[in-house]
Structure 1
Amino acid sequence: MNEANATASGQPFMEVPATTLAARVHQFGGPECICVETVPTPAPGPGQVLVQVEAAGVGPWDGWIRSGNSALPQPLPLTLGSDLAGVVVAVGPEVATLKVGDAVFGVTNSNFTGAYAHYALAQASMIAIKPDALTAVQAASVPVIAVTAWQALFDKGHLKSGQTVLIHGGAGGVGAYAIQFAKNAGAQVITTASAKDQDYVRGLGADRVIDYKNEPFENTVKDIDLVVDLVGGDTQDKSFSVLKPGGFLVSAVSNPDQDAAARHGVTAFFFLVDVTSAALTEIAALVNAGKLTTRVGPVFDLDEVGQIHEILDGKQPRPEGKMIIKMR
C-alpha cells in the first residue's frame, strides 16, 4: 500500500486496493464451509472506518456464527471474525475520533463479523487507539474477552476497592483479565481453577485459588460481594449461597435463576458484551502502564482458517491462549 499526498481536508490518503482476501461462508455448517476468496474491498459508511487488518483474534463465537448457532441474525454470505488490530486507511462520514494512519484495535461491529480479511470495516465507536506496548498480534487478542471482563466487574457488578470478588474460571481468557482488573481496582480476588493453572492465576494477582475439582468452593468461602460466573451450570447455582445479601452474580454464560436470587437477597443476571471505544481506551491505558498482560496462543495464516475452526469445534486439541490470524 502506497501513501499518497495529503488530501485537501488535511487527512492523509492511503491507496486502497479494489479487492481483498477474506474468509467467508456462503452457507452455515462445519469448517469445510469456509472459503478464502477475493471480494471487493468495502468502503466505509457513516460512523465506520476501513482498517487494513494486521491481525484478527479468534473466539468461540466465530464457530457459533459459522455453524448457524449465533444468538444474532447473520445474513449470508458473511466474512467471519470480530477482534482485530490494524491501521485505519479510510474514514467514513460522521467519524471525528479517528484518522487515516491511526493504529487501532477493537471489534468490527455488533454482529461480530468481518475481521478475517486483509481489509475490514469497523464501527468507529467499537475501536480505539492500539496500546503502544502491544504488537498487533497481541492487541488482536484483547478486545472481546477483556471488555467482557471489564463490564462484568465494573459496569454490571459495581465492584469497588476493598470488596471481595469470586471469579469462576480464572484461567480462561475472560477470567484472566477479570483477575487482573479486579486486583488493579483494589479488590480481594478469589478464583476457581484446576490444579495445573494455580500458579498461572496467582501470577495474575489472585489472592486465593480454589481447586474446583477437589475443594467445593461453596463450603469454603462466604460473604462475597460479587461472583463473576464464566462457567454456568451447577457452579452458577451453588454461587448464590456464598454471596452476602445485596451482592451481585454476573454471568457471561447463561441466565441465572431469579427465584434463587430473590431467596438469597441478591441481584443476578446474564449479559452480552458491548464493546465500546471508552472501555477499550481504559484497557489500553492499563496495558501501557504495565498493569495488564495478554496471553497469545498459536498464530495462523489466513489460509489455515479451516484448521482453526476444527480446533473451535473440538476436533483438535484446544491450545492455551487466544488463537490469532496474522495477515501476511
Structure 2
Amino acid sequence: MLAWRVHEFGPPEAMILEKIPRPSPGRGEVLVHVHAAGVGPWDGWIRAGKSALPQPLPLTLGSDLSGTIVALGPGISEMGIGDQVFGVTNTQFLGAYAEYAVASAGMLAKKPSSLSYAEAASVPVVAVTAWQGLFEQARLEAGQTVVIHGAAGNVGAYAVQLARRARLRSIATAGTKDIEYVRSLGADKVLDYHTQRFEDEVEDVDAVFDLVGGETQARSFQVLRRGGKLISAVSQPDQQRAKDHGVTAAFFLVNVTSERLRTIGELIDRGELKACIGAVLPLANGRDAHMMLEGRRSAPKGKIVLDVEAADEVTARA
C-alpha cells in the first residue's frame, strides 16, 4: 500500500510517499480502508520532530480519517467488516496518510450519514477539541458567556457553532477578513483583533476558550469574572497569574473517543453542526498540504483533507 512516511524529522520535503506492507490490527484494533485523511497542525509538529509525544522513526503521518473496516483484531464486538467509520488512528496520532490504517476501535464511530468521506475526515480532532473545551473543561451551561479566541480557525468554528446550540453567549475574536464568516457560524459578538482590544470590550465573562496562546492568552485573564475559567488547547496558562485574578486556568490535550464522536456525528446528521472543510487534495499531494500548514502555500479556510480513495483506485489499476 501507499503511505506518506518520515524517515527523518524535518520540513515537508522530508515526507516520502512509498509502498509499505499493509498493517494488521491487534487486540482492540481494526484495519480501516482509508477513503480520506484529515491534515492538521499536529501532523506538522510530528513531521518536524516537535511533538510532545515520543515518535520513533520511521513513521507514517496522519491521525484523522474516514473509511470502511476491512479487518477486525481480537476483542472487537461492536464493529463489523464493511462498517463506515470516522475518527482517529491512535493516541500517537500516526498512520492515517495511507491506503490502509490500523485504528483503535475506541477512537472510531459510525460515519455521519450526511457527510462524504472527505467531510467526515475533517471532523474528529477539531470538533472533539471544541466539545471538550466548552463542556468538559470549562463546564459551561446555557446562559453563560464565553470568549472564543481564534474563532475562524478549525477548532474555533466548531466552538462557535456548539456554543450557539448550547445557548451560550459567545464573544468571538477573529481577523478582519473573517468577521462575517464567524458571524455566520452564530457568534453573538465578533471582535476584530486587528482594530479592537478585546479587554476594552469585554468584562466579567464566565470562561475564555483560548485557541491562540501567547499574548492573547496572557491578556485574557483580565476579562474573566472571579471564579471564571481560562481553558487553552494551545499552551499551559500562567498559574500565578490565574491565582492573582482569582480564576482557574488549564491546558488540555484532546481525547477522541467513540462516545464523543457519536455525539458530534448525531449533531451533524441533525443539521445542528456544519463540517468546515477547506480543500481536498489527492493523497499524492500530501507534501503540498503540509506546505499549506506552514504558510508556504496559500491555505484555505477550513480543514485540509487528503483524498486517499482516488490513490487506491490508481494503485489497483497499476
**Farther off after superposition, 318-327 or 276-285:** 318-327
* 2:142 corresponds to: 161
Equivalent position amino acid for 1:65 in 2: I
The residue aligned with 1:217 is: 198
Q: Measure the CA separation in 1 of the matches of 2:19 and 2:39.
A: 21
- Counterpart residue number, 1:204: 185
Number of residues of Structure 1 aligned to a counterpart in Structure 2? 309
How much has 1:45 moved relative to structure 2?
A: 0.3
Indicate yes or no: 2:100 matched with 1:119.
yes
Q: Deviation of residue 304 (structure 1)?
A: 1.2
TM norm structure 2? 0.95
Cα distance in 2, alignment partners of residues 74 and 222 from structure 1: 42
Q: Give the superposition deviation at 1:313.
A: 2.5
Shift of 1:314: 2.4
Aligned ranges 1:69-88 → 2 under 5 Å: 69-88=50-69
* Aligned position for 2:163: 182
What is residue 17 of structure 1 aligned with on the other side? none
Q: Which residue of 1 aligns with 2:122?
A: 141
2:232 alignment partner, one of 238, 251, 255: 251
Point out where structure 1 has 5 or more consecutive residues left out of the alignment. 1-19
Distance in structure 2 (CA, Å) of the matches to 1:271 and 1:295: 23
Q: Residue by residue, what CA displacement relative to the aligned partner does 1:137-161 show, whole Å, maximum 9, x if unpaired?
A: 0000000111111100011110111
In the alignment, structure 1 residue 238 sits paired with structure 2 residue 219? yes
Q: Which residue of 1 aligns with 2:255?
A: 274
Counterpart position of 1:64:
45
Match of 1:194 among 135, 152, 175: 175
Worse overlay, 297-306 or 116-125? 297-306
Partners of 1:313 and 1:191 in 2: CA distance: 24
Identity %: 57
C-alpha distance in 1 between matches for 2:15 and 2:190: 40
In structure 2, which of residues 74, 83, 87 is the aligned counterpart of residue 102 of structure 1?
83
Identify which of 20, 26, 31 aligns with 2:12: 31
Q: Residue in 2 aligned with 1:285?
A: 266
- What is the aligned partner in structure 1 of residue 294 from structure 2? 313
Question: Structure 2: 5+ residue runs without aligned partners?
Answer: 311-318
Per the TM alignment, residue 234 of structure 1 is displaced from its structure 2 partner at its CA by 1.3
- SS of 1:178 mapped into structure 2: helix
1:158-192 deviations in Å (ceiling 9; x for gaps): 01111111100110000000001111111111100
Equivalent position SS for 1:254? coil
Task: Name the SS of the counterpart of 1:40 in structure 2.
Answer: coil
Displacement of 1:257? 0.9
24-33 or 100-109: which moved more? 24-33
Partner SS for 2:131: helix
Q: Quote the offset at 1:25 in angstroms.
A: 1.0
TM-score normalized with structure 1 length: 0.92
Q: CA deviation at 1:317?
A: 2.1
Residue 26 of structure 2 aligns to a residue whose secondary structure is: coil
Higher helix share: 2
Given residue 12 of structure 2, which amino acid in structure 1 is its aligned partner?
P
Deviation at 1:268, TM superposition (A): 0.2
Instruction: State the one-letter code of the partner of 1:23.
Output: W
The structural deviation recorded for 1:318 is 2.0
Aligned to 1:14: none
Question: Matches of 1:62 and 1:164 in 2, distance apart?
Answer: 32
1:128 alignment partner, SS class: strand
